[in-house]
Structure 1
Amino acid sequence: MLFTVVTAARWMAGPGSPFPVLPASPRARLVVMGLLVGAIVTAVLGPSMRRQTAGHLNPAVSIGLWLLRVFPARAVLPFVVAQLAGSVCGVALARLVWGDAAAAVGDAALAPGPGWGAPEVFLAEAGSVALMMLVVAWFGTRPALLRRLPLVIGGCVAAVIVFLGPLSGGGANPARQFGPALVSGTTGLLWVYLLAPVAGSLLAGGVWARVRPRP
């Protein structure tokens, strides 16, 4: 996913793009990126759910599913390590393939908008993940709706990118920022992008424990 994200950023916003039909405005680029990442999430999650495997690419989701008691505790750390390692490898591969063109777009590292500092970014990123995890919990307890979850989550991810992208950066995933930040060296707010989504999962787990339907 991260190789695709950096590659898309390179062709849309990097120097010397040979595709003049690609969107020129930042908002249009965010829409394209949101649809692209949302489609990847949907494509990965759908088959994985049918095979009863995990299929999530987000450390905060792994932690959240454990809090919702649908993911084993022993698998959380291996999943988180794999997700973060995949992020670094994907971005490093994109830098190897595209070189200076990838560096010119900051290796697709997230950055907050004007006037947004650590507190605002933390609240936005945590809140978006909390909402997504509550959606997962709602659909997960309703078998008739469960098959629609991949498309719904893909749509949620796309919406976060499109609407929060100009404000908080629109990550909602520690792995989304981990690789780009390390490879590009833009680690100033990395701690926020790593911890805020996890805080959102913790919040969602606490809320769901109080409101979930009782058998």
Structure 2
Amino acid sequence: MARITIIGGHGKVALLLAPLLVEAGHEVTSIIRNPDHEQDVARTGATAVVADVAASDIDAITELLADSDAVVWSAGAGGGSPERTYAVDRDAAIRSIDAAVAAEARRYVMVSYFGAGPDHGVDPSDGFYAYAEAKAAADAHLRDADLDWTILAPSALTLDEPTGRIDVHAQEGASVSRADVAAVIAAALAEPATIGRTVSFNSGDVPITDALRG
């Protein structure tokens, strides 16, 4: 049993992830910004904690993570202004990484996206540019952190039913269901072979646990 904190606990992936972790016997805390979402989180079996990580400094986030063995970053600004995107997807994510180090929550799984990185190739005039830049910065910071980190980079997300199978040789233009992304996060947390790796993936034919060991 591990104590796992999900940051961005009301996101579509996080709401699918929490029940998987609870069913596996873990103690799950889901950090959410809106108190109106507490009941949604409670139905997953996780404990909701209301906190705005974008408005929290490192000390405050460290306190949130104080009893955690593992952290899952599944938060996002969800578009909108570049300022908000940088504040959440870059700055708050980076603070959460530093807070995890301070709290000795050694296992950290970052949900990124396929193609993330300094060579993302998104034009500065594109509305996606701020997100691409923010994720590149946060992922780079995590790779340099003294944590047992994994970066998961799914392709385009769908609302399809889970298949339990993926392809870790992700292809441009491919997709994967949010339910399978949730299953990949849960499996990655339990699979030491994913530590120190960036795993890009889309839907495929290989069982998730086998794909992550490969």
Calculate the TM-score normalised by the size of structure 2.
0.28
* Larger fraction in helix: 1
Q: Which protein shows a greater Rg?
A: 1
**Higher RCO structure (Cα 8 Å, ≥6 apart):** 1
* Larger fraction in strand: 2
